[in-house]
């Protein structure tokens, strides 16, 4: 299975079943919506997504407004965007009924209302990490980087965890010859501190939040909160810098607190990934998605992530056999959303 090297405006991927049944006519409108960015594309043929566009969610008052802007773009018009009558949206929050309200952004919408506004015959909405999970069988070796040892078991359960604006969790379970993606809000489980440093970070966070979830710390906003906690722990004044600046200064080694923040982030993510692996029995491997880890490059590979992933006492040998991969493909959730639509077509 392969995902080709492609220009940013389109992508091609291997589509085993040719894209599903005949009752869904292309193009299909696809979207992957996170707390910071929304990614749109049109599937114009089996295994091909065109007119990819990335927008900042904060630039648009509603999802509908962002879709209007996307459909009016020349590349979308040329690809036949206004002809789309089927759509799929992968979004970073739970899905339960017609009304969808985002956890880490102010957008909310009615599925039925979006269908009516854009003359859609169907709109399928799923959790973004469920869509990401469905993309895993379509990712080639070139679009994942293994961190640490281990080897995947054939037809083993796959775990997913990823940090961005929030912390996503999912699993991919083999069911006969098919795969089933798990809807999960595992990022909101209670944060578990492992080291003295993390205990101090947790105490700092508890002064601000009644419940400190893993997402509060293992996420983009969590990096800033961790930086503030570590500055206080070290008795230095925290600067007024955002997550991107913390990452940049940490990677350059310009700020010791920023470096320590990135190391703490990698270790805490390792604990969370290990928890997912041991909970699901992820013998097929654990995949790391989200927008933060790929930006860390070699720092992540050299960090304490893998050591912490395996640090499970009597089950350390069990975890050592499970491989961990960083997903480096640009738009994997769009692929996963396409796979989901193809199956229900």
Domain boundaries of the chain, sorted by first residue: 11-134+331-344, 140-328
Lowest mean pLDDT among 91-95, 164-168, 243-247, 324-328: 91-95
**Mean of pLDDT values over 299-327:** 97
Comparing CA positions, the residue from 276, 311, 8 lying closest to residue 162 is: 276
Q: How far lies 128's CA from each of 117, 141, 244, 252, 333, in Å?
A: 23, 22, 23, 32, 7
The whole-number pLDDT of residue 162 equals 94
**Mean of pLDDT values over 6-22:** 54
Distance in angstroms (rounded) separating the CA atoms of residues 263 and 223: 10
Whether 64 shows a pLDDT value over 90: the answer reads yes
**Mean of pLDDT values over 82-96:** 92
- Please say whether the beta carbons of 160 and 273 come within 8 A: no
Percent of the chain with pLDDT over 70: 93
- 36 labeled binding residue: yes
The whole-number pLDDT of residue 14 equals 61
| pLDDT band at residue 8 under the 50/70/90 scheme | very low
Whether 138 shows a pLDDT value over 70: the answer reads yes
Backbone angles phi, psi at 228, to 5 degrees: -65, -40
**Mean of pLDDT values over 201-209:** 98
Lowest mean pLDDT among 4-8, 12-16, 190-194: 4-8
**Mean of pLDDT values over 210-214:** 97
**Mean of pLDDT values over 138-153:** 93
Whether 21 shows a pLDDT value over 50: the answer reads no
Lowest mean pLDDT among 56-70, 87-101, 193-207, 280-294: 87-101
CATH class of 140-328: alpha beta
**Mean of pLDDT values over 200-213:** 97
> How many Cα neighbours within 13 Å face the side chain of 72?
6
Residues paired with residue 99 on neighbouring β-strands, in sequence order? 110
- 31 labeled binding residue: yes
Comparing CA positions, the residue from 101, 114, 131 lying closest to residue 35 is: 101
> Which pTM value belongs to this model?
0.91
The whole-number pLDDT of residue 266 equals 98
| pLDDT band at residue 23 under the 50/70/90 scheme | low
**Mean of pLDDT values over 15-43:** 79
- 235 labeled binding residue: no
The whole-number pLDDT of residue 94 equals 87
Whether 28 shows a pLDDT value over 60: the answer reads yes
Structure tokens at 101: 């309200």
- 19 labeled binding residue: no
**Mean of pLDDT values over 240-267:** 97
Residue 299 host element (H or E):
helix 298-302
| pLDDT band at residue 15 under the 50/70/90 scheme | low
Strands 286-289 vs 324-327: parallel, antiparallel or unpaired: parallel
- 34 labeled binding residue: yes
Percent of the chain with pLDDT over 90: 83
Distance in angstroms (rounded) separating the CA atoms of residues 160 and 337: 16
The whole-number pLDDT of residue 177 equals 87
Residues paired with residue 49 on neighbouring β-strands, in sequence order? 11, 43
Average pLDDT over the chain, rounded to whole?
Answer: 92
Whether 157 shows a pLDDT value over 70: the answer reads yes
The residue among 233 and 92 whose pLDDT is bigger is 233
Lookup result for tokens 């699901």: 280
| DSSP states along 124-159 | EEEEHHHHHHHHGGG--GGGEEEESS--PPTT--EE
Distance in angstroms (rounded) separating the CA atoms of residues 232 and 290: 28
| pLDDT band at residue 26 under the 50/70/90 scheme | confident
CATH class of 11-134+331-344: alpha beta
**Mean of pLDDT values over 246-269:** 98
């Amino acid at each position: 299975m392969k995902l080709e090297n492609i220009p940013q405006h389109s992508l091609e991927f291997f589509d085993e079943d040719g894209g599903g049944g005949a009752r869904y006519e292309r193009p299909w409108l696809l979207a992957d919506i996170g707390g910071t960015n929304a990614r749109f594309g049109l599937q114009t043929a089996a295994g091909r997504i065109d007119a990819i566009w990335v927008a900042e969610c904060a630039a648009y008052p509603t999802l509908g407004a962002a879709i209007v802007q996307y459909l009016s773009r020349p590349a979308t018009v040329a690809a036949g965007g206004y002809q789309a009558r089927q759509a799929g949206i992968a979004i970073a929050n739970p899905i339960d009924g017609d009304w969808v309200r985002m956890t880490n952004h102010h957008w909310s919408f009615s599925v039925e209302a979006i269908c009516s506004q854009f003359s859609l015959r169907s709109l399928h909405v799923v959790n973004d990490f469920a869509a990401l999970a469905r993309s895993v069988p379509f990712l080639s070796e070139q679009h994942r980087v293994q961190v640490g040892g281990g080897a995947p078991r054939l037809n083993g359960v796959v775990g997913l965890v990823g940090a961005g604006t929030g912390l996503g969790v999912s699993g991919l379970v083999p069911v006969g010859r098919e795969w089933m993606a798990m809807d999960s809000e595992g990022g909101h489980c209670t944060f578990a501190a492992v080291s003295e440093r993390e205990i101090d970070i947790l105490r700092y966070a508890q002064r601000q939040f009644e419940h400190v979830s893993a997402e509060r710390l293992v996420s983009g906003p969590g990096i800033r909160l961790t930086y503030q906690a570590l500055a206080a722990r070290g008795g230095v004044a925290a600067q007024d810098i955002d997550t991107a600046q913390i990452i940049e200064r940490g990677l350059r080694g310009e700020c010791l607190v920023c470096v320590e923040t990135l190391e703490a982030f990698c270790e805490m993510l390792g604990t969370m990934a290990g928890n997912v692996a041991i909970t699901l029995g992820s013998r097929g491997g654990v995949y790391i998605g989200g927008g933060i880890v790929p930006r860390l490059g070699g720092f992540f590979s050299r960090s304490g992530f893998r050591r912490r992933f395996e640090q499970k006492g009597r089950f350390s040998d069990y975890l050592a056999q499970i491989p961990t991969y960083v997903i480096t493909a640009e738009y994997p959730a769009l692929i996963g959303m396409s796979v989901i639509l193809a199956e229900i077509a």
